[in-house]
Chains A and B, each alone.
Chain A
């Protein structure tokens, strides 16, 4: 089967003053369509950087990242923004909901970048919030929700545009055990029932166990 993500010879360094700190070195990997992949590794191993590169919010120094046929690093700033809006669903460790907007409005945000009408947007948002089980909390602001609920809203926001891939950076890192369990179950369901390709960065072995594939990074290299 054709991989949905094909990474070839990817390198990335950060510079602190004039010192070059290599973060990723010659990474090559394929991720199949519909896969649920866990990227693991100690702090500073480069897993978040790899995730950011796949998601198109950072640029590599060398190498290519083909996502669904598009060589992401070749896109310019504005094309990249459009590409992300259409192809990537983000789930962050600290949910990153906009505190002044309601759950409904937070989920609606990515749809504002699509040509959908207001009515169509409402249908999509309600469906996405329904999938994460928060159909009755649409008008609550993030402050009125628990951490687990906030992360579910964030997941609804990630799936509402029906993106090609979902990237999750430590999605359970800020949650208690029970909420973490709920979030992982939800991600699993998105993967199995809706065939979403999920790339998840995690420290937590229990979280990683829920994924189909685990890849380990250490000092910028895939093991």
Chain B
């Protein structure tokens, strides 16, 4: 049997102020650590939520975003006739040939310009994406200069309320509704009729094509059919989820790497803080250590008692930091997504693996900070330690 755990945590309580300050230091580092991971995760989740398993996207080969892609009208009609594509009761294919352009809008509050994606969709565009719902007003009418705006655009950019007009592509576009894409990337877009937008922007070709497959398992057959069709050699298809996940990768990796570098630097401070605290704790309790050793407790019991103390310290600090960072989930931020060059609004999203990694990271800081002082405590000479009474 070891030295009771109560000995470790009561000693922390005994030195409340120092303990709380050290926990605060560790907590802050864990807070930043978790926040960064949550941000990268939030971005990923937002873009991935934009996709559906049974939806596919067709773009030009090696296009990393819809901006870089082109799909001709001819190709689009060939693809829409493939048997793997789901059809509606009327027999029309559930596909949407789309055009994607970027416009500048002024942000509310700061007057800064932001890039916003305008997506021209076919009438089926909304059906292919059931997560997109009109929450205010009505949808745009095909063949008119009407547009609808995503929920994140509605709140963040000037002139984006129902009844107002936006001027781009040489025309005035009237906003008739606001749609909610359930925290997907669509929330940061403006949607209108694809033919109208192509005319306004003088686009002879579509940017991409979104379509629903009859079943999730039809993807390979669909892909093979595209590959065997000579007219479609310049195009490729991806599952919608994967397509958007790839768009998030550069940005998510950037956030993660930058953030992790900063946290690692911070963590040195926290580890040194923990080390100083634990050293002081060992120094203050030299006589107690001598007594425990004299009573017959072995070196490793002393070592683990002090390590436990450091683990308590960092565990509680980390827990508090994590708790605080989970509060960030109520905050939404927006930034330019490198993958699509347009603004995307996303939140901090906590996942079990982020929580686990944050706690492991804080315990790791505790072990690193507490180990050397604990070793020192366990190696003390009994006589010398007892004499320090």
Do they bind each other?
yes
A99 within 8 A of B: yes
Residues of chain B lying within 8 A (CB to CB) of residue A78: 298
Q: Kindly list chain B residues whose C-beta atoms are within 8 Å of the C-beta of A113.
A: 1, 295-297
Given contacts A85-B296, A100-B11, A105-B6, contact A112 B1 (CB under 8 A): yes
| Contact indicator A112/B3 (Cβ below 8 Å) | yes
Q: Is the CB of A57 within 8 A of B296?
A: no
- Segment of B252-260, B267-275, B286-294, B314-322 in the binding face: B286-294
- The answer to whether B7 and A96 touch across the interface, beta carbons within 8 angstroms, is no
Q: B293 and A81: CB pair below 8 A?
A: yes
B-contacting residues, A62-108, CB 8 Å: 77-78, 81-86, 90, 92-94, 96, 98-101, 105
Q: How far is the CA of A110 from the CA of B296 in the complex (A)?
A: 7
Question: Inside 8 A of A90's CB, which chain B residues have their CB?
Answer: 291, 294-295
Please report whether the interface of chain A is mostly helix, strand, loop or mixed according to DSSP. Answer: helix
A214 in contact (CB, < 8 A): no
Interchain CB contact under 8 A, A52 and B3: no
What B residues does A157 contact at CB under 8 A?
295
Name B297's contact: one of A57, A81, A101 (CB within 8 Å).
A81
Is A58 interfacial (CB 8 A cutoff)? Answer: yes
Of A55, A94, A100, the most chain B CB neighbours within 10 A belong to: A100
Report A171 CB to chain B, min CB distance, Å.
Answer: 14
Q: Does A138 contact B (CB under 8 A)?
A: no
A113 nearest in chain B by CB position? B296
CB pair A84–B294 under 8 Å, yes or no, is yes
Q: Which residue of B lies closest to A115 (CB)?
A: B1
Q: Which of the residues B1, B4, B13, B294 comes within 8 Å of A57, measured between beta carbons?
A: B294
Q: Is the CB of B296 within 8 A of A96?
A: no
Indicate if the CB atoms of A84 and B296 lie closer than 8 Å.
yes
Contact status A81-B298, CB under 8 Å: yes
Minimal Cβ-Cβ distance residue in A for B389 = A94
Residue numbers in A under 8 Å from B14 (CB-CB): 99-100
Does B382 reach chain A (CB closer than 8 Å)?
Answer: yes
Q: How many A-B contacts at CB < 8 Å in the complex?
A: 72
Least distance between A52 CB and chain B CB atoms (Å): 6
Interface string of B276-292 (1 = CB under 8 A from A): 00000000000110111
**Please, which residue of chain B has its CB at the minimum distance from the CB of A110?**
B295
Could you tell me the distance in whole angstroms from the C-beta of B382 to the nearest C-beta in chain A? 5
How far is it, in angstroms, between the C-alpha of A41 and the C-alpha of B161 when the chains are bound?
97
Count how many chain B residues have C-beta atoms less than 8 Å from C-beta atoms of the other chain.
26
Give complex CA distance A25, B11 in Å.
42
Q: Within 8 Å of chain B (Cβ to Cβ): is A31?
A: no
Given contacts A78-B298, A85-B296, contact A112 B383 (CB under 8 A): no
Closest to A83 in B: B296
Which residues of B lie under 8 Å from residue A100 when comparing CB positions?
Answer: 6-7, 10-11, 13-14
B2 interface residue, CB < 8 Å from A? Answer: yes
Q: Which residues of A contact B298 (CB under 8 A)?
A: 78, 81
Indicate if the CB atoms of A98 and B382 lie closer than 8 Å: no
Instruction: Give the residue of A77, A81, A94, A101 whose beta carbon is less than 8 angstroms from that of B6.
Output: A101
A112: chain B residues within 8 A (beta carbon): 1-4
Inter-chain CA distance A216–B250, complex, in Å, is 83
* Residue contact B295 to A101, C-beta cutoff 8 Å: no
Cβ distance A154 to chain B, nearest Cβ, rounded Å: 10
Q: Which of A84, A96, A109, A114 sits near B389, CB closer than 8 Å?
A: A96
With A52-B383, A96-B287 as known contacts, state yes or no: A101 contacts B294, CB within 8 Å.
no
In the complex, chain B residues whose CB is within 8 Å of the CB of A109: 3, 292, 295
| Interface: B386 (CB within 8 A) | yes
Q: How far is the CB of A132 from chain B (nearest CB, A)?
A: 17
CB distance from A175 to the nearest CB of B (A): 15
Residue of B nearest to A154 (CB): B291
List of B residues within 8 angstroms of A105 by Cβ: 4, 6
| Contacting pair B288 A96 (CB below 8 A) | yes
Q: B288 to A98, Cβ gap below 8 A?
A: yes
B299 at the interface (CB under 8 A from A): yes
The contact string, 1 if C-beta is below 8 Å from chain A, for chain B 295-334, is 1111100000000000000000000000000000000000
A86 to B, closest residue via Cβ: B296
Residue ID in chain B nearest A77 by CB atoms:
B299
A58 engages B383 (CB within 8 Å): yes
What 3 pairs between A and B have smallest CB-CB spacing? Answer: A85-B296, A100-B10, A96-B291
Can you pick out 23 interface pairs between chain A and chain B where the beta carbons lie within 8 Å of each other?
Answer: A57-B383, A81-B293, A83-B296, A84-B296, A85-B296, A85-B297, A92-B291, A92-B386, A94-B389, A96-B288, A96-B386, A96-B389, A98-B288, A98-B291, A100-B10, A101-B4, A101-B7, A105-B6, A110-B295, A112-B3, A112-B4, A113-B296, A113-B297
- Which residues of A are in contact with B by a Cβ distance under 8 Å? 52, 55, 57-58, 77-78, 81-86, 90, 92-94, 96, 98-101, 105, 109-110, 112-114, 157
Other A-B contacts than A92-B291, A92-B386, A96-B386, 15 sampled, CB-CB below 8 A, are A58-B382, A78-B298, A84-B294, A85-B297, A92-B389, A93-B389, A94-B287, A96-B291, A99-B14, A101-B4, A101-B7, A110-B295, A110-B296, A112-B3, A114-B1
